[in-house]
Every structure is written in C-alpha cells, then in structure tokens.
Amino acid sequence: MSRQSNRTTDSKKMNSELFTLTYGALVTQLCKDYENDEEVNKQLDKMGYNIGVRLIEDFLARSSIGRCQDFRETADVIAKVAFKMYLGITPSVTNWSPAGDEFSLILENNPLVDFVELPDNHSTLIYSNLLCGVLRGALEMVQMAVDVRFAQDTLRGDNVTEIRMKFIKRIEENLPAGDD
C-alpha cells in the first residue's frame, strides 16, 4: 500500500520537476534571445497570457466552480482552488485595499524557483512573470480586466513572494450583431 503511494508522490514530484526545469530552460532561452530583462519580463507576461486564456477552461472544467459574486470571492478561488490545483500551494490573501479592488497573494514558497538563483547581471528580471500573465489571461476570459504584478520576490532578496492583483473593470461580453 505504502509503496503505491510512494510511486504516486514520486510521479507527481517528477512532473513538478519537468515543469520547473522546462520553465527554467524557457527563461534561460529568453535571456539569450533578448537584450534586456525588461523585454524578457514582457515576453514571459505575453506567454503567460496565452496560457491563461486556455488554462481557465481546464480550470472551470475540473473545479466546477460557479461564477464568483465579487472580487473577494475571486481572490479566494484563485488562492485556495486554482493555486492548489495547479501548483500545489495555497497562498494567503491579504492587504486588501479600502475600496476592495486590490489584494495581495503571499506565497511562502514558489515552486517555479526551486533550485533557481538569479545571476548578478539579471537583477531586474522577474523570473516568475509568467504567473502574472496567466492570471491576467485567465481572468480576462471570465470578463475581468485585472492588473497583476510582483510586489516582492524571494529571488530578489525579499522574505516572501507577493503578487499584487488589482481589479480594473468588468469586460462587457461582445454580443454578436443582432437582426436590427
């Protein structure tokens, strides 16, 4: 019995390594292709966005979560369901703005950065910026325009990793042209 579970955990861990190693290879390649960190950050965000707009369907299909009533519910779903499902971690939701349109996700540990160190000449690289794009793309598909950015990053010396999410506006669904 225990042998069986060991294999499953190992298999999940190995897949985790496949993902984190692939992500590392991607960032390395982008650093080679683009002159500066700013451009790499932009590419990671763009690629994250492309992933996010497809990931949301996978998420909705597997989680059977209904429509969120407000931004607070959205925050909880992101932290407790989505992050748990895809990255196996549950960030805490904190630092709500008084208007309730901005909050932080605090990640104690970030699976993307296992075994990663930023070299000195890449101090402005936002290594995990793909995540910002993913969140932005996924939420856009459920009619929410948001701004997502890293406020703190353990790779750059901070104690925790903090992702700041701000609600911009509701995106009106584009209805097809009617008969009028």
Partner 1 sequence: MADESLFDFLHMEIVSHVYKEQQNSKGEMDNKDRAVCVSVLESMGFRVGQGLIERLTRDSPSFKDELDVMKFVCKDFWTKVFRRQVDNLRTNHQGTYVLQDNKFSLLTQLSSGKQYLDQAPKYLAFSCGIVRGALSNLGMDSVVTAEVSVMPSCKFQVVIQKL
Interface with partner 1 in residues 122-141 (CB under 8 A)? 130
Residue 4 to residue 81: CA distance in whole angstroms: 26
Q: At what angle do helices 130-140 and 37-63 cross, to 10 degrees?
A: 50
- Judged by CB under 8 A, which of 31, 42, 51, 160 binds partner 1? 51
Q: Is 21 in the site for partner 1 (CB under 8 A)?
A: yes
Q: Which of residues 140-179 bind partner 1 (CB under 8 A)?
A: none
Range in contact with partner 1 (rule: CB under 8 A) among 12-20, 97-105, 138-146, 152-160:
12-20
Which of 39, 58, 76, 158 touches partner 1 (CB under 8 A)? 58
65 binds partner 1 (CB under 8 A): no
Binding mask 70-99 for partner 1 (x = CB under 8 A): ---------------xxxx-----------
Asked if 20 interacts with partner 1 (CB under 8 A), we say yes
Q: Give the separation between CA 46 and CA 53, rounded to whole angstroms.
A: 11
Contacts of 103 (CB under 8 A, 6+ apart): 71, 75, 93, 94, 95, 96, 97, 164, 165
22 binds partner 1 (CB under 8 A): yes
Element holding 126 (H helix, E strand):
none
Q: How far apart are CA 41 and CA 128, in angstroms?
A: 9
> Token pair for residue 176?
């097809």
Min CB(121)–partner 1 separation in Å: 20
**Closest approach of Cβ 108 to partner 1, in Å?**
15
Backbone angles phi, psi at 73, to 5 degrees: -65, -40
- Alpha-carbon Rg for the chain in angstroms: 18
Check residue 47 for interaction with partner 1 (CB under 8 A).
Answer: yes
Binding site for partner 1 (CB under 8 A): 9-26, 28-29, 33, 43, 47, 50-51, 54-55, 58, 85-88, 111, 130
